Structure 1
Amino acid sequence: MDLAPLDPVVPRVAVSGCLLGEPVRYNAGHCRSRFLTQNLEPYVEWVSVCPEMEIGLGAPRPSLRLVGREGGDLRLVTRDGSADHTDAMVELADRRAAQLADLDGWVLKSRSPSCGPRGVTRHLENGNPADRRSRGVFAGRIMDALPATPVEEEGRLNDPVLREHFVERIFAQARLRALFEGGWKGRDLVAFHSAHKLQILAHDPARYRLLGRVVAAAGARPPDELRAEYTDLFAAAFAVRPKRGRHVNALQHVFGPMSERLDDARRHDITGIIDAYARGEVPLQVPMTLLRHHARGEDIAYLQAQTYFQPYPADLPIGA
Structure 2
Amino acid sequence: MESIKLGISACLLGEPVRYDGGHKLDRFLRDTLGRYVQYVPVCPEVECGMSVPRESMHLEGDPEAPRLITTRTGRDMTAMMVEWARRRLEEPALQDLCGFVFKSNSPSSGMERVKIFKDGMPKRNASGIFAGLFMKRFPLVPVEDEGRLHDPVLRENFIERIFIARRWREVMNQGTKAGDLVDFHSRHKLQLMAHSPKHLSAMGKLVAEGKKVPSAQLRAEYHRLLMEALKLKATAKKNTNVLQHIMGYFKKELSQDEKQELLEIIDRYHDGFVPLIVPVTLIGHYVRKYDQPYLKGQYYLNPHPIELQLRNHV
- Which interval holds the TM-score relative to the shorter structure? over 0.9
User: 1:261 Cα deviation (Å)?
Assistant: 2.1
Cα-to-partner distance string for 1:70-110 (whole Å, 9 max, x where unaligned): x6632101113442121222233333333323211000111
Distance 1:45 1:256 in 2: 39
Equivalent residue in structure 2 for 1:215, among 202, 207, 214: 207
Distance 1:203 1:72, change over 3 A: closer
CA RMSD of aligned residues (A): 1.8
Name the SS of the counterpart of 1:48 in structure 2: strand
Counterpart for residue 27 of structure 1: 20
Equivalent residue in structure 2 for 1:48, among 30, 41, 44: 41
Cα-to-partner distance string for 1:24-53 (whole Å, 9 max, x where unaligned): 111111111111111111100100111111
Distance 1:72 1:151 in 2: 19
Q: TM-score, normalised by structure 1?
A: 0.92
Counterpart for residue 95 of structure 2: 101
Distance 2:11 2:121 in 1: 25
Counterpart for residue 63 of structure 1: 56
> Counterparts of 1:1-320 in structure 2 under 5 Å?
8-69=1-62, 73-99=65-91, 100-124=94-118, 128-318=120-310
Distance 1:15 1:116, change over 3 A: same
Cα-to-partner distance string for 1:8-36 (whole Å, 9 max, x where unaligned): 34211100001111111111111111111
Q: TM-score, normalised by structure 2?
A: 0.93
Cα-to-partner distance string for 1:130-178 (whole Å, 9 max, x where unaligned): 2122111111111122111111111111122211111111111111111
Distance 2:251 2:52 in 1: 62
Would you say how many aligned residue pairs link Structure 1 and Structure 2? 310
Name the SS of the counterpart of 1:45 in structure 2: strand
User: 1:129 Cα deviation (Å)?
Assistant: 4.4
Distance 1:65 1:160 in 2: 30
> Structure 1 stretch 150-159 or stretch 256-265: which is displaced more?
256-265
* Contact preservation (8 Å) 2:176, 2:215: no
* Contact preservation (8 Å) 2:58, 2:107: yes
Identity %: 43
* Contact preservation (8 Å) 1:9, 1:171: no
Distance 1:129 1:39, change over 3 A: farther
Q: Higher RCO, 1 or 2 (CA under 8 Å, sep at least 6)? A: 1
Distance 1:217 1:73 in 2: 41
Distance 2:87 2:13 in 1: 22
Distance 2:251 2:83 in 1: 57
Counterpart for residue 3 of structure 1: none
Distance 1:316 1:207 in 2: 27
User: 1:210 Cα deviation (Å)?
Assistant: 0.9
* Contact preservation (8 Å) 2:64, 2:126: no
Distance 2:154 2:240 in 1: 19
Distance 1:316 1:244 in 2: 20
Q: 2:232 corresponds to which letter in structure 1?
A: V
Distance 2:86 2:250 in 1: 50
Moved over 4 A (4+): 317-320
